[in-house]
Structure 1
Amino acid sequence: MKKEKFETIAVRGQMERSQYMEHSSPIYLSSSFVFEDAEDMRASFAEEKERNIYSRYANPNTTEFIDKVCRMEGAESGFAFASGMAAVFSTFAALLNSGDHIIAARSIFGATHTLLTNILPKWNISHSYFKYNELESIESLIGPGTKILYAETPTNPGVDVLDLEALGQIAKKNNLLLVIDNCFASPYLQQPIKYGADLVIHSGTKLMDGQGRVLAGVTVGSAELIEKIYKFSRTTGPALSPFNSWILSKSLETLSIRVDRHCENALKLAGYLESHPKVNWVKYPFLKSHPQYHLAKKQMKAGGCVVAFEIKGGLGAGRSFFDAIEMLSLSANLGDSRSIVTHPASTTHSKLTAEERQETGITDGMVRVSVGLEHIDDIISDINKALEG
């Protein structure tokens, strides 16, 4: 069978039509499903047949969404969650036991850092950090209880790029599970499984939805690992709702078109900011000045929607910039059709200490821009006016 292209999978990867022969998948807003007879009920609960039982386990809309993401990422199976952090937590909780150990890149989302430092230690699950550009230090952190190697790439919020192939080799050599948060890239720009990842996590809230409407998360990967995550999650209940699954599956139909525009706009904005007299530095994976530019070109189709830069003048200048923004939204989300500016030090990474933020390159003057789909001239004009004060 001919392998379909990414865009075709996104548009045509829908469930079988019902007897009504609908062209677009319907929403199955049903908490449960009925059985033909006693034997059908028994066999279904005994998992002797694949069928829908209860929407906390599976639902036609959720299955359609998961199947699309699996085909996009090259994964065998998956499970969808009510949020991206539900996906991160449930993946860790399903695969780890008391006494186990995680090695994670130091540059990660603030809530994931809190999970590793404040929540998982309650169950005697420990962690060690490595710097994104010091992969050679990973093996020195491995102990008898180490089970998972975890990273985001590009990172949040500094858009640094980690070498997926090198991470895959380290994980395989040391019998570790490689788990990659692929949220900033989306499966359109990057497929970590190609480089050795065992599991890939997404916050569907971001580029997958793309319009700031729903919360969602999804983990995809090997069928063996997903089975463990599924059994944990059907009991603990972090499942994605049918309605949000339907929204996301429809959103994926336009993912490639939207992300192409995001990346085009982001690269133009990064280039403009690089020459602005009130900006200290700019980081964007496909900007030639980015430290991992060649690595980004190797493992990503384009640079993504996020641009990070630092305003001259520190915290005071930063506050003035945010107060002067007119069109762009002040929000903590990203991947939205509307451009968003965020101050990581006081929002998404505010739970980190000043020292921890310094370790990850988050300065008081850093700005994270999620570049949207507006005309690039209007985006640049709004940012320029705010910079000029």
Structure 2
Amino acid sequence: MNLKKPGINTLCTHHGELEDKEFHGSVSPLYMSTSYAFDDVEKKRYPRYYNTPNQEALCKKIAGLEHAEDALIFGSGMAAISTGIMAFLESGDHIVLQNLIYGGTYNLIVQHFEKFGISYSFTDALSPQSFEELIQPNTKVIYIETPSNPMLTITDIKAIADISKRHGLVSVIDNTFASPVNQNPIDLGIDVVIHSATKYMGGHSDICAGVIATSKKYRDQIHAMGIRLGGSLSDFTVWLLERSLKTMGLRVQRQNENAMILAEYLNENEHIIKVYYPGLPDHPDYELANS
């Protein structure tokens, strides 16, 4: 056991806590105000600027969980996805995406990017070579989602990160289905990590939110786009998400166990034609998923 490095449950519970300095409560206080008096004109608190007390505390926790330098929070997973992608693209640019991605992301790309003058290419396969072959002189971003929603396909994260760096591109991943409990893409070289926090992070079916974890290098670029698109999160939902994260480590651990039991049961059921679960040894991405 590494006593110098906090474990996932310690990070979930204690990292980035908003201290109750007046009453010393064990739960973070909630600041619902949308207006704040300020002494410094350079520091103006406003919910759309992502800098209220609750927002800043939650961003610190998210960054810690994803081993990132900084983080931002949004009103939905799609708000995070659209902001995280559009922050690095403009008219004339090109993006490479894997062929199996969340439907909301797919529709954003195919229904709107041509209107913005942005071209795109979807891979025919998930091998690293299939991504590199699609890179053009005007490519700016490589976007992956692993495990993918809903087919649970697995993409080689480190290989994609290496390709992106070799070509000077920004690598972006939707890490929703893995959660920070199972996977930390920044440790593998990815630049921008996105989550729909409505899923495992929220965990209680009572919030809708999205998050982005990244480096300080890219944070300002994403933050500026986020302010323009207006996808920030209300402080009450921020507070609920911070509450939910305290138990995420334990919840996801049990969800992993339950998913394995269910997958094995269905895999042995003669009435089931095919089970798509990368934890099963007969899944084509089994070794990569466990690497």
Normalising by the residue count of structure 2, what TM-score does the alignment of the two structures yield? 0.95
Match of residue 43 from structure 1? 42
Match of residue 5 from structure 1? 7
Displacement of 1:43 in angstroms is 3.2
Map of 1:204-353 to 2, 5 A cutoff? 204-298=197-291
Displacement of 1:229 in angstroms is 0.9
Match of residue 18 from structure 1? 21
Displacement of 1:110 in angstroms is 0.6
Deviating more after overlay: 246-255 vs 134-143:
134-143
Q: Larger relative contact order (C-alpha < 8 A, sep ≥ 6)? A: 2
**Is structure 2 residue 107 aligned with structure 1 residue 105?**
no
State the secondary structure of the residue aligned to 2:42.
helix
State the secondary structure of the residue aligned to 1:170.
helix
Displacement of 1:235 in angstroms is 3.1
Map of 1:105-254 to 2, 5 A cutoff? 105-254=98-247
What code does the residue aligned with 2:6 have?
A: E
Displacement of 1:132 in angstroms is 4.4
Match of residue 71 from structure 2? 78
**Is structure 2 residue 48 aligned with structure 1 residue 56?**
yes
Displacement of 1:69 in angstroms is 1.2
Q: How far does the alpha carbon of each residue in 1:40-81 deviate from its partner, in whole angstroms, 9 at most, with x for none? A: 2x2325xxxxxxx11111211122221111111111111110
CA contact (8 A) 1:155 1:161 kept: yes
Q: How far does the alpha carbon of each residue in 1:123-154 deviate from its partner, in whole angstroms, 9 at most, with x for none? A: 11111011443321222211111000001000
Distance, in Å, in 1 between the alignment partners of 2:229 and 2:126 is 36
Distance, in Å, in 2 between the alignment partners of 1:293 and 1:71 is 28
Q: Number of residues paired by the alignment?
A: 287
The alpha-carbon distance between structure 1 residues 2 and 32, as it changes in their structure 2 partners (threshold 3 A), is farther
CA contact (8 A) 1:207 1:259 kept: yes
Distance, in Å, in 2 between the alignment partners of 1:106 and 1:219 is 22
**Coordinate RMSD, CA, aligned:** 1.4
Distance, in Å, in 2 between the alignment partners of 1:54 and 1:195 is 34
Distance, in Å, in 1 between the alignment partners of 2:212 and 2:186 is 12
Distance, in Å, in 1 between the alignment partners of 2:224 and 2:170 is 18
The alpha-carbon distance between structure 1 residues 236 and 133, as it changes in their structure 2 partners (threshold 3 A), is closer
Match of 1:34 among 33, 37, 45: 37
CA contact (8 A) 1:107 1:131 kept: no
CA contact (8 A) 2:99 2:126 kept: no
Q: How far does the alpha carbon of each residue in 1:193-250 deviate from its partner, in whole angstroms, 9 at most, with x for none? A: 1111000000000000011111100111111211111112123311011111111111
Distance, in Å, in 2 between the alignment partners of 1:207 and 1:216 is 11
CA contact (8 A) 2:98 2:126 kept: no
Distance, in Å, in 1 between the alignment partners of 2:48 and 2:213 is 18
CA contact (8 A) 1:132 1:160 kept: no
CA contact (8 A) 2:94 2:138 kept: yes
Map of 1:355-366 to 2, 5 A cutoff? none
State the secondary structure of the residue aligned to 2:273.
strand
CA contact (8 A) 1:132 1:162 kept: no
What code does the residue aligned with 1:55 have?
A: P
CA contact (8 A) 2:198 2:205 kept: yes
Percent identity over the alignment is 39
What code does the residue aligned with 1:9 have?
A: L
Distance, in Å, in 1 between the alignment partners of 2:275 and 2:105 is 25
The higher radius of gyration belongs to 1
Residue segments in structure 1 that go unaligned for 5+ positions in a row = 46-52, 299-389
Displacement of 1:286 in angstroms is 1.0
State the secondary structure of the residue aligned to 2:212.
strand
Deviating more after overlay: 107-116 vs 86-95:
86-95
